[in-house]
């Protein structure tokens, strides 16, 4: 049972750190707006969107099966919902 308290404490610590970061960033944005530093806000927003796009681009969104290169049947939600067999093949390029 001692492991549960450690997990709960770690989770609480991570939530606290996240809340502190969020409060700090919000305060920073409010101060930049107050001091009318819209150019800095524009640059920070551009860098933030760029970082988000890079993260999405690097993530594996297709969830391909590494052994066969095929999408698993559960990945084709529309075909499952309609009761249709998927008519595509997702083969990785070599």
Q: What is the pLDDT of residues 37-78, one digit of tens each?
A: 999 999 999 999 999 999 998 887 766 555 555 555 555 666
Across the range 20-45, mean pLDDT stands at 96
pLDDT at site 54: 93
pLDDT at site 60: 75
Whether residue 92 has pLDDT greater than 70: no
C-alpha 75/C-alpha 70 separation (Å) is 10
**Nearest Cα to Cα of residue 89 among 74, 81, 72, 80:** 72
**Nearest Cα to Cα of residue 64 among 53, 54, 74:** 74
């Amino acid at each position: 049972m001692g492991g549960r308290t450690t997990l709960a404490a770690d989770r609480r610590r991570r939530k606290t750190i996240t809340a502190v970061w969020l409060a700090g960033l919000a305060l920073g944005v409010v101060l930049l707006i107050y001091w009318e530093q819209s150019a800095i806000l524009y640059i920070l927003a551009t860098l933030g969107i760029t970082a988000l796009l890079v993260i999405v681009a690097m993530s594996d969104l297709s969830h391909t099966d590494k052994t066969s290169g095929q999408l698993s049947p559960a990945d084709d939600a529309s075909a499952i919902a309609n009761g249709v067999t998927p008519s595509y093949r997702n083969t990785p390029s070599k």
